[in-house]
Structure 1
Amino acid sequence: MDEERGGGSLVLAGTPIGNVEDASPALRAALATADVIAAEDTRRLHGLLTRLGVTTSARVVSYFDGNEASRVSGLLDALAEGRTVVVVSDAGMPTVSDPGYRVVAAAVDAGLPVRVVPGPSAVLVALALSGLPTDRFCFEGFLPRKGGERRRRLSGLASEERTMVFFEAPHRLEEFLADARTAFGDDRRAAVSRELTKTWEETRRGTLAELADWAAAGVRGEITVVVAGAAPAAVSIEDALPLVAERVAAGEPFSAVVAAVAADAGLPRKSLYAAALAARKEER
């Protein structure tokens, strides 16, 4: 493990995604004691400080997509001088579809301490609300704005078996869902959450076809889309026979191999046993 050398501390601070009451005491303390606050939008930061009733003597600098690369060296200098630098995005956790990755990577390379003040996450909130499987999921963030590129990305995810979470702008939601139903099929289950933790929070659940029809009328607010993963590919007995033969050839007992492969593939053990036994006789 790499050892971190002395200096300041880079703090990634999660901010409320809607309801200011979700702000933690740790967030308030981090903002109040920071030496430098790098904010995605300085005006929104000052608004948050006002709503939280927090005062700070920190130097506030803007840190957004357009200037992220150019800000890194200055923030590293502050860290090297022993200062505490807090990074905040407009909502949620920095680095998750928001600025922060570059300065974290640079701080890690320089051996400077990095820590996190956890906060609300639209990804996890929407996933929990979706009613879809949560044991395995992947976060795809914002897909390309151009239709052709977006459709290619969705097509590449058509066989993804994990639940998928996307961010989307409200004015592109209708197009996104139309492309998703083409890539995944009309009947794929999904959920659209908007304005999470806010007064007008809403989650719509249904098939992609149903949600696309609903979105055609127009949707407002911050959007998170959760889409069910693809059903596992069906394995036939014919597909399973080479798996049995390979493991038996490697020295595993025939009966044990048949039982294991049948369980993994969801096949009837007796049927696979009979087919594998017949295949062995044909090879002799």
Structure 2
Amino acid sequence: MPSINHISTNIVHGVLYIVPTPIGNFSDITQRALIILKDVDLIAVENIYHTHILLKNFNINNHLILINQKNENKQTDKIIKKLKLGKKIALVSNAGTPVINDPGFILIKSCHKNKIRVIPLPGACAAITALSASGISSNRFCYEGFLPTKKIARCNLLRSLRKEIRTIIFYETPHRILKSVTDIIKEIGTERNLVLVKEISKYWEYIFSGTSYELLSWLQQDINHCKGEMVLIIEGFQNLSNNVLTQEVYDTLYLIQKEISLKKAVTLTSKIYKIKKNILYNYAINHFK
């Protein structure tokens, strides 16, 4: 039987390789990825200039073809023809694993339709890397990509995820992070646990862990906190125990929030009954009108 190393570096003709690239530190690229990028006949890239910088760093010279959201349908036909002729082609995005919020889905789907072999390489992925360091349960999770740009659509999506029990992963942008966290507080609550992972594998890498309210406060402290590439992770909804939330607790919280703000009512009730604020708040936003 061939060794694992022999299998991992074998170059096959008439195949599309899905090649992850570094999300920060160039050293994160795998040896196998470098071999593929050097030996394939063509590299399909999201951005020619961006990929050229990467290849130059490793002294790799190869032919590049642009494939992005605007031209993917047209370029897919060209690439499929080359693959049918026995060419070996690598697909890369600007950073991380291709197709995760990047072009390539149409091409890969077409490869399967045309019985062309697709070989995925393991490697960098911002969502999974961030999740592994989040301290939030990773046994079950869902990936939602980027939150919608429009406020109404963003709030509607967040509202639909309010009772999602799996850990939720988003990508976010610097210009929208404050708005998104504000909407998370509105639709999911102030006490839901969040983790913001910024600039993974780069010099300014930083991980913030806290409640949604604490994250918003931290972001507002310094404009630099809102900069960089971000992964936002939200703890899943916790099912409430009838043993914790008794009728007495429910009635107390209900009456108090009639007189003062919900946030203050939750804080006061949690002190009276020694119940975690996030449990009370999640209950309130899902039951009180």
TM-score by length of 1: 0.78
**Bigger Rg, structure 1 or 2:** 1
CA contact (8 A) 1:7 1:81 kept: no
Among residues 165, 168, 188, which one is paired with 1:184 in the alignment?
Answer: 188
Alignment of 1:9-24 (within 5 A): 9-24=15-30
- In 2, Cα distance between the equivalents of 1:121 and 1:207? 25
SS at the partner of 1:47?
A: helix
Aligned partner of 2:31 in structure 1 is 25
Aligned partner of 1:163 in structure 2 is 167
Alignment of 1:77-92 (within 5 A): 77-92=81-96
Aligned partner of 1:149 in structure 2 is 153
- In 2, Cα distance between the equivalents of 1:229 and 1:204? 17
Aligned partner of 2:227 in structure 1 is 220
SS at the partner of 2:21?
A: coil
SS at the partner of 1:177?
A: helix
Among residues 26, 36, 44, which one is paired with 2:42 in the alignment?
Answer: 36
- Extract unaligned runs of 5+ from structure 1: 1-5, 237-284
Aligned partner of 2:264 in structure 1 is none
TM-score by length of 2: 0.77
RMSD: 1.5
- Extract unaligned runs of 5+ from structure 2: 1-11, 244-289
- In 2, Cα distance between the equivalents of 1:179 and 1:81? 51
Matched-pair identity in %: 31
Once the two structures are TM-superposed, the CA of residue 53 in structure 1 deviates from its matched residue by: 2.5
Aligned partner of 1:54 in structure 2 is 60
Once the two structures are TM-superposed, the CA of residue 51 in structure 1 deviates from its matched residue by: 1.4
Aligned partner of 2:214 in structure 1 is 210
Aligned partner of 1:134 in structure 2 is 138
- In 2, Cα distance between the equivalents of 1:12 and 1:102? 13
- Matched to 2:85, the amino acid is E
CA contact (8 A) 1:20 1:52 kept: no
Once the two structures are TM-superposed, the CA of residue 235 in structure 1 deviates from its matched residue by: 6.6
SS at the partner of 2:175?
A: helix
- Matched to 1:147, the amino acid is K
Once the two structures are TM-superposed, the CA of residue 29 in structure 1 deviates from its matched residue by: 0.7
- Matched to 1:184, the amino acid is I
Alignment of 1:112-127 (within 5 A): 112-127=116-131
Once the two structures are TM-superposed, the CA of residue 181 in structure 1 deviates from its matched residue by: 1.2
- In 2, Cα distance between the equivalents of 1:12 and 1:215? 36
Aligned partner of 1:174 in structure 2 is 178
How big is each residue's C-alpha offset from its partner over 1:33-57, in whole Å with a ceiling of 9 and x where there is no partner? 111111001001110011122233x
- In 1, Cα distance between the equivalents of 2:27 and 2:58? 8
- In 2, Cα distance between the equivalents of 1:12 and 1:235? 49
The 1:80/1:235 distance shift into structure 2, 3 A limit, reads: farther
